[in-house]
Amino acid sequence: MSTSTDVRTGSDVRATRDGAGAPAQDWVEGAACRTVDPDTLFVRGAEQHQAKQVCRTCPVRTECLAEALDSRSEFGVWGGMTERERRAVLRRSPDVTSWRTLLTTARDEYERGVALPLPQRRATA
């Protein structure tokens, strides 16, 4: 197990392995918010829009959102979504057992499809 600091709480996090055998918290090191004051991510109302802007170009946005959905995080902006938005996703898809698997697979498939020339994209759809 490795130890790192959770950018959101400042506490030590012991990285565990997820079902696929990958370290579950490795994505934290690449997070755009790792240098941001955590209080800016745990806001209400109009300030949430500003907090979500931190996530727009984050390279680990998918992993962050998956972590929040898998752990049912109730507070803060994670992966570009507010707690209200995440609750709505969870209500619409109660049978998902691993958001990490679902979201990373969807992202990878999307990126492969976008990389294909347009005629090939249509043929695979």
Residue 64 marked as a ligand binder:
yes
Judge whether 90 is annotated as a binding position: no
> How many Å from the N-terminal Cα to the C-terminal Cα in the chain?
41
Is a pLDDT exceeding 70 seen at residue 5? no
Q: Is residue 55 a known part of a binding site?
A: yes
* Average pLDDT of the residues of the chain: 81
| Residue ranges per structural domain of the chain | 2-124
Helices 61-70, 83-92: crossing angle, 10 deg rounding: 70
Q: Give percent of the chain with pLDDT exceeding 90.
A: 62
Confidence check: pLDDT of 19 > 90? no
CB 7 within 8 A of CB 31: yes
- At residue 91 the predicted structure's pLDDT band, cuts being 50, 70 and 90, is very high
Confidence of residue 122 (pLDDT cuts 50, 70, 90): low
Tens-place pLDDT, residues 31-57: 999 999 999 999 999 999 999 999 999
Asked if residue 3 belongs to a known ligand binding site, the reply is no
